Amino acid sequence: MPLTRLTPPEAMRAALLAGVVPVAPQHLPLADAVGRVLAGDLRSARPIPAQAIALREGWAVAAEATLGASPYAPMPLPGAPAQLRAGDPLPPGTDALLGPFDLDQDPLPQALQAVAPGENIRRAGEDLAPSDLLLRSGEALRALHLPGLLACGIAQVALRAPRIAVLDSETGLGVMLAALAVAEGADVMSRRAGADTLRDGTEDAILMIGGIGESSDDPAPRALAAAGTLLAHGVAARPGLAAGIGRIGATPVLLLPGRAEDALAAWWLLGRPLLRLLAGAVPPPPRQARLARKVASSIGLAEFVPLRFPEPGLAEPLAVGALPLGVLARAEALLVVPPDSEGYEAGSAIACEDL
């Protein structure tokens, strides 16, 4: 029987997320934690650097002793300065670094340039002060965070990594959906779709791709209904119309159509919010922009509008109610027009989500 009733996107998302809570934290070494979502704040336990250090090769001096120095008027120094490499600690009584060629040692040490206090050095605690916040709970750990964490002596972190089963009924989209789930910090288990695989029980969520159309007699809705509960089939969104949701026990299940743009629409509308909730992730703020031209939309359906930005703050619509693959390759963000809206005039302020 074809779909006769479509569930509004907000209502379907609320039904999918109802009762879902973040998964339990686990501890992983930093090397295995990149891309995962943190389960607690990370703070510096000590000043970084612990004492003033050289930022380049040169000669450690008291800046005051170089006042007025130039190549034409060398300034005698009170003693022979220590030669340092980048990262070496400054000796007591020094607060700056002469460049490697700014010292004349014949016959006595003389500065050939004046330096200001703090020049060519990094003061104690300048990178991080004690208790400085490094990362907030809900943020994803990136590779660029590692130097700061290692400097603080943090070797492992608490994070949340939902276990996601991606079941593909020979659509070929499983690799894409698995990659999208991994990008949200999930551990992915890929399997062939089928009624028996729906009963595994080790996952925190199931993404089932293919075998779903506009009929309740399609294989995926029937398999879900046999293994658990089919909560809704058919979402008022274009593309993504035939998406469905359900439960097997307490495990949420998302049914994704087997066509790429429909599957992607269902992922962005339902799958990504589900994984972010399971991971305890803080969603990024929407990007604010103005439309370069009018977007006309149909009442009754949420419609996806891929966007690109020809200049900062100006969003150019590339399609309405469709996600052609060639367009997706050029898109930078996504606007979802609500079902009760007829669209937006050119110049309208919008909030969109980066892809």
Q: pLDDT of 49-64, one tens digit each? A: 999 999 999 999 999 9
Pick from 230, 256, 279: which residue ends a domain? 279
Position 227 scores a pLDDT of 85
Pick from 140, 159, 178: which residue ends a domain? 159
Position 308 scores a pLDDT of 96
Residue 108, domain member (yes or no) = no
Q: pLDDT of 201-255, one tens digit each? A: 689 999 999 878 766 677 888 888 888 899 999 999 999 999 999 999 999 999 9
pLDDT band at 116 (very low <50, low <70, confident <90, very high): very high
Mean pLDDT to the nearest integer, 170-175: 85
- CA dist list (Å): 97 to 112, 114, 192, 264, 325: 12, 10, 64, 56, 56
Q: pLDDT of 263-316, one tens digit each? A: 999 999 999 999 999 999 999 999 999 999 999 998 999 999 999 999 999 999
Position 170 scores a pLDDT of 76
Q: DSSP readout, 227-282? A: HSEEEEE-BSEES-TT-EEEEETTEEEEEE-SSHHHHHHHIIIIIHHHHHHHHT--
pLDDT band at 195 (very low <50, low <70, confident <90, very high): very low
Q: DSSP readout, 318-330? A: --SS---HHHHTT
Residues 203 and 262 in one domain: yes
Position 201 scores a pLDDT of 66
Mean pLDDT to the nearest integer, 126-146: 92
Residue 184, domain member (yes or no) = yes
Q: DSSP readout, 160-189? A: E--EEEEEESS-S-HHHHHHHHHHTT-EEE
pLDDT over 90 percentage in the chain: 78
Residues 146 and 242 in one domain: no
Residues 154 and 180 in one domain: no
Instruction: Give me the amino acid identity at 301.
Output: L
Residues 143 and 199 in one domain: no
Instruction: Return the CATH number at 338.
Output: 2.40.340.10
Mean pLDDT to the nearest integer, 122-137: 92
Residues 165 and 152 in one domain: no
Structurally, how many domains does the chain consist of?
3
| Residue 46: count of CB within 10 angstroms of its CB | 14
Position 191 scores a pLDDT of 67
Residue 304, domain member (yes or no) = yes
| Helix and strand numbers, DSSP H then E, in the chain | 7, 27
Mean pLDDT to the nearest integer, 115-125: 95
Pick from 226, 255, 279: which residue ends a domain? 279
What SS3 state is found at 342? coil
pLDDT band at 325 (very low <50, low <70, confident <90, very high): confident
Instruction: Return the CATH number at 274.
Output: 3.40.980.10
Position 1 scores a pLDDT of 41
Residue 81, domain member (yes or no) = no
Tell me which residue range forms the domain holding 41. Answer: 28-48+127-159
pLDDT over 70 percentage in the chain: 95
Average pLDDT of the chain is: 91
